Amino acid sequence: MSADFEKYFQTVPPVLPAHIAIIMDGNGRWAQKRAMPRTAGHKAGIGSVRAVTEACARLGVQSLTLFAFSTENWQRPQKEVSVLMELFLRSLQKEVARLERNGIRLRIIGDRTQFSERLQVLMAEAEAKTAANDRLSLNIAASYGGRWDIVEAARRLAEEVAAGKLSPEAIDAERFHAHTALAELPEPDLFIRTGGEKRISNFLLWQLAYTELYFSDALWPDFREQDLALALEDYARRQRRFGRTSEQVEQVTRA
């Protein structure tokens, strides 16, 4: 963590989000600007993952969800996908010890059946090794899509109805949420997308209903603690109303 970043959060008590969700966009463009293969950008982005994860743990953020690989990303050139899978494999092997030292729990959400058996085993082992950690929940969305998440939840509910365990009338938003990928965690308070694009790209469609959105022009490999500080400063200025009026929120705050 940089000295400037730590100094800022020592002098200005932030209104911290409990859960931050990030689309790590711009790896390919970062590499192309440097006349390098797109895969070089993915490798460079690992440094940002490490910096942002450890900064969130240091600040007291409870959960961090990173969009690493979407269901649509399988359509990318096979060479790029292969490099990404190998990078994912090496990162799991290398970073787990670091996560353990920092008290960070790793969870991977998404359709694991799409990954190789070896990678699935490493995912399970990494989750098991960090399961007791409670300083920060780091959730990696891999082979994940918001629509996939919603369909999976609907399918599980349909199975319960078909088995006679649940009546259709008993299905409500709370029961539906209990079947989604991040059901055990608070919904994201702050969504960040790097790289200058302004869309959510099938990420946590159910969970982002009332999340505050923040878009950074920084390409992901360049995104560091100072960029996170800007996002958190912006978040602290927001008034979250959840359907209520400003006057109602102010009354609750004063009370």
Reading phi first (left if > 0) and then psi (alpha if -120 to 50, else beta), residue 127 is in alpha
DSSP lists the bridge partners of residue 212 as 190
**Which sequence positions are flagged as catalytic?**
25, 73
Residue 65 contacts residue 182 (beta carbons within 8 Å): yes
SS3 for 195-251 is CCCCCCCCCCCCCCCCCEEEECCCCHHHCCHHHHHHHHHHHHCCCCCCCCCHHHHHH
In 3D space, the residue among 167, 142, 171 whose CA is nearest the CA of residue 154 turns out to be 171
H-run or E-run covering 138 = strand 136-144
